[in-house]
Amino acid sequence: MKKFFMLALIALMVFAPIFASGAKEEAATTAPAQVEEKEMTHDELVAAAKAEGKVVVYATSSRIAKAAAAFTEKYGIECETSNLKDYELIEKVAKEGEAGITGADFVLAQDAGRLFGELMEPGYLYNYVPPTLKDVIPESMQNPLQAFQINKVFIYNDENTTESPYYNIWQFADPKYKSTLNFKNPFQEGVNSNFLTMVTSPEVSAEIAKAYKDYYGKDIVLTTPNAGYEWIKAIYENDLISGTSDTTIAENVGIKGQNKANTPVGLFVFSKARYATTKNLALKPAMNMEPFCGFYYSLYPLMCSSAAHPNAAKLFIEFLFSEEGFAPWGKDCGTYSANPNIGVQEDIDYPFSTWEPLLVKEDAEYCFENRADVEEFLNLYIY
């Protein structure tokens, strides 16, 4: 995946001067043309979608199948869904786009950096915001359109403690807490790599530098480009435990009776906190950490430029923002609709407005431009 990402970045850098020098006509023939949008009322869209009779979706969430079943039941439109890993989806759409093959009508995908740089920039995918939702969805979530937000937070084993022992991310770099933090290998999931890329951004790295001073009582001395890189280096050198799945990490952290010197903790999807009841594990989020208690990423519903059923795709995208469309994700904690009128189950979760200021945000353009450098840096510590 890393090699593919770097090749895409190099290709973009090579061809950018061509675009700037005025060779736009030739470049336009190498990517699908943008679809000219015709704004319809909801009823007009429903009629046009039913006339097409089918919609094809690629998604990185297995819950798309349940959403598709509900969509078919509501509108009588056949749905063909494929559940793919994030890198599989990106590579499939890119290859189909390059070959001029009609595949999906829209995608529901994660990994903002690669979506932006490898699929949206070449024109294989484009952004569509349902007219009925332009005044509903926060403007900050409309370009590109976010359907859902998913959070990964520091979650600790609370079997033997009434409050979190973790209050500062630099504890995971402190030798006193060696071999304590668990985190999925970032090369196995793009959003984890994006998170580590974001901690190197000027804004977040400045917060990390402040947290260092608050924890150690002195200014950070850099041996790397900034405090974000310094924190990445420090947590891996402090024997970070690299996992292969968030499920396994949650089970390893939450199993009872461990009797370790330090309370086990992991950075994984908050939805796994449900295992506290379903699997009798000890799991609780550390929400009062400096300068953040985790990160969030989004699932983006993006139109395919070569869609054979564009109106059915637009209707399905609109459907995802309804209570019915969100239901497959909303039954658990840890996933939040970009439609602020759809709440969460308050007995097991907090509103996204509570989480958002506590989490590192994924920035598509920054991730695309900087992830290769961060992954090269990570190679020093993971392999």
Residue in the block written with tokens 């509570």: 354
Nearest C-alpha neighbor of 263 from the set 116, 164, 122: 164
User: What's the topology of domain 36-148+297-354?
Assistant: D-Maltodextrin-Binding Protein; domain 2 (3.40.190)
Q: pLDDT value at position 332?
A: 87
Q: pLDDT value at position 38?
A: 72
| pLDDT lower than 70: segments of the chain | 1-37
Residues 6+ apart with CB under 8 A from 236: 378, 381, 382
Q: pLDDT value at position 379?
A: 95
Nearest C-alpha neighbor of 300 from the set 95, 67, 125: 125
Annotated domain spans of the chain = 36-148+297-354, 150-296
Q: pLDDT value at position 347?
A: 84
CATH code of 150-296, in short, is 3.40.190
Distance CA 371, CA 16 (A): 19
Q: pLDDT value at position 294?
A: 98
Q: pLDDT value at position 364?
A: 93
First CA to last CA across the chain, in angstroms? 15
Same fold, 36-148+297-354 and 150-296: yes
Q: What is the pLDDT of residues 167-219, one digit of tens each?
A: 999 999 999 999 999 999 999 999 999 999 999 999 999 999 999 999 999 99
- Residue 297: strand, helix, or coil: strand
Residues 6+ apart with CB under 8 A from 154: 166, 265, 266, 267, 285, 286, 289, 293, 294
CA 243 to centroid of chain Cα atoms: 18
Going through the chain in order, the beta strands assigned E by DSSP cover 54-59, 78-83, 106-109, 125-126, 148-156, 181-184, 241-243, 265-269, 284-285, 294-304, 335-337, 360-361
What would the DSSP string read from start to end of 130-191?
-GGGTTTS-GGGBTTB-SEEEEEEEEE--TT-SS-S--BGGGGGSGGGTT-EEEE-GGG-HH
